[in-house]
Amino acid sequence: KNEVEQSPQNLTAQEGEFITINCSYSVGISALHWLQQHPGGGIVSLFMLSSGKKKHGRLIATINIQEKHSSLHITASHPRDSAVYICAVRERGGSQGNLIFGKGTKLSVKP
């Protein structure tokens, strides 16, 4: 069993829809990252959080440490949001860089 599980693996949405991507993990963590990988391969760090909720523009990330679960929400989705979204965790006691990655959720937003 993977230590970081994402769902769904693939997601197709219509422009304007509210989107939720889920991440569950099985280890104790000190931080969780959400990353965005565009079709060209470039990776952008969206959020790093250890508790609660963060918001940036149309993106919202939440984490529930007790339930070992995080969600990434996209409001008013747009075709330019089409990308692979990757969840990664830093295991508690591990080094800052030693992240465990999920396999990603491929999002396609249709106009």
Partner 1 sequence: GAGVSQSPSNKVTEKGKDVELRCDPISGHTALYWYRQSLGQGLEFLIYFQGNSAPDKSGLPSDRFSAERTGGSVSTLTIQRTQQEDSAVYLCASSSHWTEGYTFGSGTRLTVV
Please report, as ranges, the residues that interact with partner 1 according to CB under 8 A: 33, 35, 41-48, 86, 88, 95-104
Phi, psi of 15 (to 5 degrees): -50, 135
Q: How far is the CB of 80 from partner 1 (least distance, A)?
A: 19
Measuring CA to CA, which residue among 75, 32, 69, 23 is closest to residue 50?
32
Q: How far is the CB of 110 from partner 1 (least distance, A)?
A: 25
Residue 82 has a CB neighbour count (10 Å cut-off) of 17
Of residues 66 and 95, the one with the C-beta less far from partner 1: 95
Of residues 7 and 14, the one with the C-beta less far from partner 1: 7
- Beta bridge partners of residue 108, listed in sequence order: 12
Token code pair at residue 35: 């990353």
Of residues 44 and 65, the one with the C-beta less far from partner 1: 44
